[in-house]
Amino acid sequence: MSNSGTGTARATASPTRIEPKQPAVPERTVAPHVREAAQWFFWVVAVTAMDSVFVILGSRIHRFTALGVTALVDRFTGVNPVAHVMANGWLATPLLFLGFWALEGERTAFTIGLSLYACDLALLAVAHDYFSIPFHAFVLYQLYRGFAALGRSSSSAVA
């Protein structure tokens, strides 16, 4: 009897299961305090973006969330919207990447972020923008809490 190829195929007794491959390096779990502190990088980027929108729309209201870089640029350029937005972008972009890096529990991200934001705070003092300094100090405190929590979690893991 010839087979024309229209018959039914037999199923195997047990279908083969495809198991997902495990990553070569296991993922680190990051402490909640570290993740909360890392979120502050994103808050700074968000208020910086809002600041840029306000400047583009022509707002002359002082915002306490302004960056020191933009305060200094505004002092020299007379609130040039293009220069203001460019300065915001130049500082917000690294902060965004540092935020993602900090979410992974990288101590270096907090170190660079603290240094960068502290320099921005010093620029606020140079630009005589004393109204924005308390917000910067609060954010620095929050970032430091994440840095310190990361140090505590890594030292307890070693012990």
- pLDDT per residue over 101-115, tens digit each? 999 999 999 999 999
Q: What is the pLDDT of residue 97?
A: 96
Query: Across the chain, how many H-helices and E-strands are there?
Result: 5, 0
Question: In which element (H, E) is residue 143 found?
Answer: helix 133-158
Task: Write the pLDDT tens digit of every residue in 131-147.
Answer: 889 999 999 999 999 99
Of the chain, the end-to-end C-alpha distance in Å amounts to 75
Q: What is the pLDDT of residue 67?
A: 84
Q: What whole-number distance in Å separates Cα of residue 81 and Cα of residue 116?
A: 23
Q: Is 115 buried (19+), middle (13-18) or exposed (0-12) by CB count in 10 A? A: exposed
pLDDT computed for residue 159 by the predictor: 43
* pLDDT given for residue 87 in this prediction: 86
Per residue in 16-56, pLDDT (tens digit) is 777 767 666 556 687 888 999 999 999 999 998 888 888 88
**Tokens read off for 97:** 């990447």
* Higher pLDDT pick, 89 / 25: 89
User: Length of the chain in residues, anyone?
Assistant: 159
* Structure-token pair, residue 58: 């022509």
Ramachandran quadrant class, 16 (left: phi over 0; alpha: psi -120 to 50; beta: rest): beta
Residue boundaries of the structural domains of the chain: 32-158
Max Cα–Cα distance, the chain, nearest Å: 97
Sign (positive/negative) of CA torsion 108, 110, 116, 119? negative
Mean pLDDT for the chain overall: 82
